[in-house]
Amino acid sequence: MDIGMRGKPFTRYRKEVLEGVSGSVLEIGAGTGLNFEHYPEAVELVTTVDPNPGMSAKARKRSSYHNIKTDSHQITAEKLPFKDDTFDFVVSTWTLCSIPDIESALSEVCRVLKPGGRFHYVEHGRAPDVGVAKWQRRLTPIQKVIADGCHLDRPMYELVEASGLRHISSNEHYVPKTPKIAGYFYIGVAEKPYILPYSDHEPSYGRTES
């Protein structure tokens, strides 16, 4: 996974997603720590959660190499041991596809963010084209087996909104040179509102396709 996720196209998205992140950060599914070198200097502490024991040794090496202060937890994102309103930012890069209970994980993301705190993410997910989406649905059971639980067909924007977070920006597109079933990317920033829950589900802003 480390080799596969290290490529240049991923790096471009990592930089973009981590722009403007500061203070206390939670990264879910941090993997081998490939984001660490891209965190801005204004980040004070990166708390990471990832259930996979194979990831942590590489992640530890990367955090010390890039001088990033981390606090790592070998746990899943569906039930977080952190108090409400703890983090300034939560980050996820290509992780939401692999989390078995994505609704619980996103609800936890919303809970542990401070009011006004932001969730920055880049994920692949359900494509808008009916033909592509049909194949994503068909192939997801196989993909889950060969790619460690990865779902091809999750509607990421809607799932993030359903957690109570509200998008302040979002962009979706097919990435070049990637099969369409795995290449529809969602890049978003969603904020935890000061008042939860909503009396009404108001539309969010900034959803674009390019």
Ligand X SMILES: C[S@@+](CC[C@H](N)C(=O)[O-])C[C@H]1O[C@@H](n2cnc3c(N)ncnc32)[C@H](O)[C@@H]1O
Residues of this chain that interact with ligand X (CB under 6 A) are: 1, 5, 28-31, 34, 49-52, 55, 76-78, 93-95, 98-100
* Nearest residue to 92 (alpha-carbon basis) of 199, 187, 168: 187
Q: Pick between residue 34 and residue 133 the one whose CB is nearest to ligand X.
A: 34
Residues, the chain = 210
Smallest separation, CB 44 to ligand X (Å): 20
Smallest separation, CB 145 to ligand X (Å): 14
Smallest separation, CB 195 to ligand X (Å): 28
Q: Which 3 state secondary structure label does DSSP give 202?
A: coil
Question: How many angstroms separate the CA atoms of 140 and 152, rounded?
Answer: 5
- The DSSP letter of residue 175 is P
Q: Pick between residue 76 and residue 170 the one whose CB is nearest to ligand X.
A: 76
On the CB side of 22, how many CA atoms lie within 13 Å of its CA?
A: 3
On the CB side of 192, how many CA atoms lie within 13 Å of its CA?
A: 22
Q: Pick between residue 32 and residue 170 the one whose CB is nearest to ligand X.
A: 32
Residue 28, strand partner residues:
49
Q: Pick between residue 150 and residue 190 the one whose CB is nearest to ligand X.
A: 150
Q: Pick between residue 110 and residue 204 the one whose CB is nearest to ligand X.
A: 110
Report in angstroms the alpha-carbon separations of 122 from 187, 191, 195, 200. 4, 15, 26, 27
Residue whose beta carbon is closest to ligand X = 31
Smallest separation, CB 201 to ligand X (Å): 26
Question: How many angstroms separate the CA atoms of 184 and 124, rounded?
Answer: 5
Smallest separation, CB 176 to ligand X (Å): 19
